[in-house]
Amino acid sequence: MTSTTTFALIRHGQTDWNAALRIQGATDIPLNDVGRGQATDAVAPLSAFEWDFVVSSPLSRAAETADLIAADLDLTVRHRIPGLIERNYGPAEGLQAGEELEALRFPGGFHGAETESDVAERGIDALQQLAHEHPGARIIVVSHGTLIRLSLERVLERQVGSITNASLNLVHHHPAGWKLAMLNGETPPE
């Protein structure tokens, strides 16, 4: 058995708050019909690989995305992992761009929000725990854009930009570190 664990990091499908450009964070907002379609569309690129199982954040938008993907790939969703929940934006949740949101902003975040460092650490801990418990496994992880982005930026030590809804982000975890193989469905530049 190989000690390289492969993760497909998938951001959930669209919600009404995504469409309205509202900050969701830890608020449990369900998928909309577009998001359900995106989850179904995510199956095609995932089908190019073999997968062992699916895990997700327990928030409904990620859980439903995971359920749709798992059903189409004939896989099971083994765990809903609290460490994969989106960043808690505190009082900024539900807000759109404007004066109220700007009043909460400071460099690196929002007053009352979970720090970027804490989010990255939480996401990496969840992935490393999966790699430890399932060495050599191929795992689809359905989570949230900010958590995926911050976790990738921490382990890769570089910026990766926005994570699009239901896109394939492929990363390999091995004893020597992490390797990004695909970002938002495309091979990343070296």
Annotated binding site for substrate: 11-18, 61, 86-89
The amino acid sitting at 118 is D
- Beta carbons of 152 and 9 less than 8 angstroms apart: yes
Per the annotation, the verdict on 12 as an active-site residue is: yes
Q: Phi and psi for 81 in degrees, rounded to 5?
A: -105, 115
Give, as one character, the DSSP assignment of residue 59: S
Separation between Cα atoms, residue 167 and residue 37, nearest integer Å: 12
Catalytic residue list contains 86: yes
Q: H helices of 32-181, where?
A: 33-41, 43-46, 60-73, 99-104, 116-133, 145-156
Task: Check 64, 79, 86, 144 and give the catalytic one.
Answer: 86
List the binding residues.
Answer: 11-18, 61, 86-89
DSSP assignment letter at 137: -
Closest C-alpha among 169, 155, 119 to residue 11: 169
Q: Which residues contact 23 (CB under 8 A, 6 or more apart)?
A: 17, 89, 92, 93, 94, 95, 96, 101
> What are the residue numbers of the active site?
12, 86
